[in-house]
Amino acid sequence: MLGRTANGLFWMFRYLERAENTARLLDAGLRMALTRDLETAEAEWRSVIATLGQKPQFEAVHDTYDGASVWNFVLREKSNPANVREMFAAMRNNARTARTNISSEVWEAVNENWMKLDKLLARPVSQGQVGEVVSCLRRTGTQVHGALDGSVLRNEGYHFARAGTFIERAESTARILDMKYYLLLPSLSHVGSSLDTGQWDQVLRSVAGSSAYTWLNAGQIDARGIVEFLVLDDRFPRSLAFCRSAQRLNLAALARMHGKEGRSNELMREADMDMSDLTVEQIFENGLHQFLIDYIARNAAIADAIGEDYRFLS
Amino acid sequence: MSVAEQIPNFDEMFDADSAIREPYRGYSGWYDEQEPAWLERKNSEADESFRRIGITFNVYGEDEAEERLIPFDMVPRIISAGEWRRLKRGIEQRVRALNAFLYDLYHRQEIIRAGRLPERLLRGNDAWLPHMVGMTPPGGIYTHIVGIDLVRTGPDEWFVLEDNARTPSGVSYMLENRETMMGMFPDLFSRAGVESVSNYPRRLARSLAACAPPKCEGKPNVAVLTPGIYNSAYFEHAFLADQMGAELVEGSDLRVVGGRVQMRTTRGYEPVDVIYRRVDDDYLDPLTFEPGSVLGVPGIMDVYRSGGVTIANAPGTGVSDDKAIYSFMPEIVEFYTGEKPLLPNVETWRCADSDSLAYVLDNLEELVVKEVHGSGGYGMLIGPTATKKEIRAFRAKLEANPDNYIAQPTLSLSTCPIYTKKGLAPRHVDLRPYVLVSPDGIDITPGGLTRVAMKKGSLVVNSSQGGGTKDTWVLKD
């Protein structure tokens, strides 16, 4: 497979994942804004923008953090070069680049949803329409992953697609958690004390983990439980542990297919060594924030190494 | 079944008494059995399906790129087995002559020595490539993929309007039109015996592989070279690569390593043997041609000359697409095959000749005048439909640079009905059959791409000018 095509597949699935995660973040923010007072709502929208790393760009064009400004900025405004509409176009362009390595099922799922979304985002989005946009974004993820699963050859292309998915997903979960880590601080001294459950429910919602968490913990929300769930529980498909196992399998498959290991496999092994016996206590002891920052940096290093090992760009 | 509009010319479906012609009888019977409302719904579904599959072409406006659909008409264009046999013989003869002609032009130029073709036609030809002189492409083939544009004016009157030996496009429409038709009207195909077109990509792959260069070892590696996703025909490039099982490469993926053209794969550089390029000659090699080109591969021409790679179609092939050369095609066919042409040219006046020019200037209102190097329906005058002002402006251009033009009579092109909400309506059509050439022989896919002028009375079928396409059937015996 061409290095450029591998790069196209990798980024197609990163953008797909990023769009879906952004949709969940908006959805959770919207829910929060509807159920809380104005001040909390504003703080919530502020944190949505901060989680996406778009604070400077947003503040350059908007004075206040009201809902409509935030979702329009995130979804479609030209002043935000990383808006979802652009993200979708980039996903589709990457799909076109890799067209010979995805099935027509995958391509049509991408193209059909792109057509829908592009129309939805051609004009400013009202509060009544946000839900439709969010479900279109989520449906795209579901359909494209479903088509990939059911129709694509399990060759290197498949593993580049999956590698992109898990690099992006791990980064997103880590960022969402990091944006809220301070909420856990007051409760560190007495683990088990109740938290602002609304805030945490919002975090869980933005990673599609609210009901899974509730099932596992019988509704008890505490700092330990949340970190355990989002960082260490490898049964939950958006947890850092799950992403790491999935990535390990992808990279091992790629190394097998190419008959040799590269820097990405080495970094993966280091990550496994550092994290396999990690406990919640250790994470809190060394600082959750520090842990997450290190995690994000390591994740980015693995992404770069994949690109170099498999000649994405040169 | 009835006709919504009067037909002033040869219609391929209805004869002068509005009776159905033989090839269309089966289809007509089926059509009459369908509910009008159902047909109307099917018609709008077709557009949706083309958009979903992404069969679009890009148009660049001032602001941003727009993706457009080429209109698709769901009434097939039908050719009988007997008609097709005759056409096929004529096309084969012409394509054989074209390859022999190109070989001769870049070698001994016997045709010029024999006084059958004026030498000035080469000197003034932008597509003429001095770099190709004396070089023989692998297998001696110049034009691996050819599209011969045909028009019809009567029951047995077919003419060649244009030869596309350089880069004939549109074959993906031929294939997708058939797919769409079979998806929409499966019962129709179980009723009528229609020659299949769907194995074209495999035949293309086989034909290209048969042209592998001397340095190729083992199974030839075939790649499609595209200018990239922003090219207006990118859909077709990706489609063909996908269907052939070939890599779709851009210039930046290729590099000359160890005397071969190699592509950057996830495993390192791997040699490419045959390149089906959809990049113009000028951009192929920045070391030989356009120095600023990022679409091509530096040094590819040296590799080509040393037998390290096959470029399809061969650089310099476009020389025969020139319309002044076209006007000599009857002589060319006879010179290289020793036979009379089976498919005639449209009568053509070369404005470079002063007598012809005088005639053309006197009769502009009746003629079609074309630029010698033009294509895509641009830069031409259609006398009968042009305004006085347009004719005046064109006359000035023609007088200033007569060598640049040829003129042809305004043909009364055949029509074929299209579907409209009011019923069937006749529209002018042409036909582009696709021909594959390799040392194994000449392979013509039955049918080809029918282009149709969607506007009533219009003679311009080019997609860039609002033309559409139809599925083209060749009936089985």
Query: Is A256's pLDDT higher than 70?
Result: yes
pLDDT (tens digit, 9 = 90+) per residue, A187-237? 554 444 455 677 778 888 889 888 899 888 877 777 788 889 999 999 999
Nearest Cα residue in chain A from B251: A4
Find which of B266, B270, B294 to mutate to test the A interface (most A CBs within 10 Å of its CB).
B266
| DSSP-derived 3-state class of residue A61 | helix
Tell me the C-alpha distance between A148 and A145, whole Å. 5
Residue B142's CB: how many other CB atoms inside 10 A? 27
Domain ranges of chain A: 1-152, 153-314
Nearest to B265 among A2, A112, A115 (CB): A2
Contacts of B383 (CB under 8 A, 6+ apart): B363, B364, B365, B366, B367, B368, B369, B391, B410
pLDDT (tens digit, 9 = 90+) per residue, B40-58? 999 988 888 888 887 777 6
How many angstroms separate the Cα of A135 from the Cα of each of A93, B100, B420? Answer: 22, 61, 37
Bridge-partner residues for B409, per DSSP? Answer: B367
Query: Which of chain B's residues have a Cβ under 8 Å away from the Cβ of A97?
Result: 229
Please give the ipTM for the structure prediction. Answer: 0.85
B253/A311 Cβ within 8 A: no
pLDDT (tens digit, 9 = 90+) per residue, B191-236? 879 999 999 999 999 999 999 999 999 999 999 999 998 888 899 9
Note the pLDDT of residue B149: 96
Element housing A294 (H / E): helix A288-309
Token code pair at residue B135? 């070089």
Contacts of B184 (CB under 8 A, 6+ apart): B42, B45, B46, B74
Note the pLDDT of residue A185: 62
Query: Is B339's pLDDT higher than 80?
Result: yes
Tell me the C-alpha distance between B228 and B234, whole Å. 6
| DSSP-derived 3-state class of residue A71 | helix
Contacts of B300 (CB under 8 A, 6+ apart): B254, B256, B261, B284, B285, B309, B311
- Tell me the residue type at B134: G
pLDDT (tens digit, 9 = 90+) per residue, B423-466? 899 999 999 999 999 999 999 999 999 999 998 888 888 877 77
H helix intervals, B128-244: 171-184, 186-191, 200-209, 234-244
Q: Are B433 and B87 in contact (CB under 8 A)?
A: yes
Nearest Cα residue in chain A from B272: A2
Instruction: Give the distance, in angstroms, between the CA of residue A127 and the centroid of all CA atoms in the same chain.
Output: 24
| Window 250-289 of A, Cβ < 8 Å to B | 258
Q: Identify how many contiguous H helices and E strands chain B contains and give both numbers.
A: 15, 22
Element housing B26 (H / E): helix B25-33
Instruction: Using a pLDDT cut of 70, give the percent of chain B over it.
Output: 95
Query: Is B143's pLDDT higher than 90?
Result: yes
Element housing B42 (H / E): helix B36-53
With CA atoms as reference, report the closest residue to B342 among B333, B351, B350.
Answer: B333
Specify the residue for token string 């007997």: B82
Structural domains of chain B ordered from first start? 349-409 (3.30.1490.270)
Token code pair at residue B426? 């006749």
Lowest average pLDDT, out of A93-97, B3-7, B282-286, goes to B3-7
Q: Are B322 and B163 in contact (CB under 8 A)?
A: no
With CA atoms as reference, report the closest residue to B230 among B64, B376, B374, B464.
Answer: B64
B4 falls in which pLDDT band (50, 70, 90)? very low
Tell me the C-alpha distance between A102 and A148, whole Å. 8
| Higher-scoring residue by pLDDT: B66, B332 | B332
Would you mind telling me the total number of residues written for chain A in this entry? 314
Specify the residue for token string 């009723």: B191
Burial of A110 (0-12, 13-18, 19+ CB in 10 A): buried
Nearest to B229 among A2, A96, A310 (CB): A96
Q: What is the mean pLDDT of chain A?
A: 91
| Window 153-192 of A, Cβ < 8 Å to B | 156
Hey, which of A193-207, A213-227, B76-90, B385-399 has the most confident mean pLDDT? Answer: B76-90
Angle at which helices A38-51 and A3-35 cross, to 10°: 170
Residue B313 preceded by cis peptide, ω within 30: yes
pLDDT (tens digit, 9 = 90+) per residue, B260-278? 999 999 999 999 999 999 9
Average pLDDT of the residues in B122-145: 93
Tell me the C-alpha distance between A198 and B147, whole Å. 67
Query: Is A66's pLDDT higher than 50?
Result: yes
- Tell me the residue type at A283: I
Note the pLDDT of residue A71: 96
- Provide the shortest C-alpha distance from residue B278 to chain A (in Å): 16
CA dihedral B49, B54, B56, B61 (to 10 degrees): 120
> Could you tell me if A147 lies within 8 Å of chain B, comparing CB atoms?
no
B1 falls in which pLDDT band (50, 70, 90)? very low
- The secondary structure of B314-334 as a DSSP string is PTTGGGGG-HHHHTTHHHHHH
Average pLDDT of the residues in B396-411: 92
> Could you tell me if A36 lies within 8 Å of chain B, comparing CB atoms?
no
Integer-rounded Cα radius of gyration of chain B: 23
Tell me the C-alpha distance between A98 and A247, whole Å. 21
Tell me the C-alpha distance between B461 and B272, whole Å. 37
Token code pair at residue A186? 């007051």
B250/A311 Cβ within 8 A: no
B420 falls in which pLDDT band (50, 70, 90)? very high
A4/B250 Cβ within 8 A: yes
Hey, which of A14-28, A168-182, B457-471 has the most confident mean pLDDT? Answer: A14-28
- The secondary structure of A186-245 as a DSSP string is GGSTTTT----HHHHHHHHHHTT-HHHHHHHHTT---HHHHHIIIII-TTSTTSHHHHHH
- The secondary structure of A142-196 as a DSSP string is HHHHHHHHHHS-SSHHHHHHHHHHHHHHHHHHHHHHHHTGGGGGGGSTTTT----
Query: Is B129's pLDDT higher than 70?
Result: yes
Element housing B50 (H / E): helix B36-53
Specify the residue for token string 């004075």: A63
Query: Is B5's pLDDT higher than 60?
Result: no
Contacts of B239 (CB under 8 A, 6+ apart): B172, B175, B176
